[in-house]
Amino acid sequence: MIQRHGSSAARLGSGLLAVLGLSGSAAALGSVPTPNCAVPEFRQFDFWVGDWRVTQGERHAGDNHIARILGGCALQESWSGASGSRGRSINTYDPSRRLWHQTWVDNEGTLLVLEGGWRDGAMVLEGERMDATSGKPIRQRITWTPLPNGDVRQHWQSSADSGGSWQTVFDGRYRRSR
């Protein structure tokens, strides 16, 4: 919508923002918690928020920045792999279905759509993607476990037999970098 200076729509919009305290504020930028996202489930993945150096064994695998966005309604992941790979994910809790959802995409064309929730002291998300070679569905499961020292273990597994057996794709440790 085009707003003209001095128009009644512009004055009304400015007045509403001022009354709500949103003009130029943190709420307008999304850092103030949104009442709709204040239920405890929206905080279940907060242990992952921060700046991380990620290792697999003793090898540096990459760096990851996880931030709360959209008034605390979502987490945004920004991955930079040591080999040059890059990826992003958006994570949110869906109260209508009572589960967490992640959509991940990277610079190699990988798309993962995962869902699940808090289970046995860890965040466990699962989904399927088609194998590019065989065209068959491959089940994906990623588990994030907060550790007592503040680190996080990320264990990514895949299954070509609908969860009958699992192979480790990645088993990494997140250590705070800042």
- Asked, for residue 164, whether it belongs to a domain, the answer is yes
Range of the domain at 6: 1-26
Q: Provide the percentage of residues in the chain whose pLDDT is more than 90.
A: 75
- Asked, for residue 31, whether it belongs to a domain, the answer is no
Find the helix or strand (DSSP H, E) in which 11 lies.
helix 8-20
The pTM assigned to this predicted structure is 0.80
The pLDDT mean for the chain works out to 85
pLDDT, tens only, 101-148: 999 999 999 999 999 999 999 999 999 999 888 899 999 999 999 999
- Asked, for residue 11, whether it belongs to a domain, the answer is yes
CATH of the domain at 160: 2.40.128.20
pLDDT, tens only, 155-165: 999 999 999 99
CB atoms within 10 A of CB 61: 20
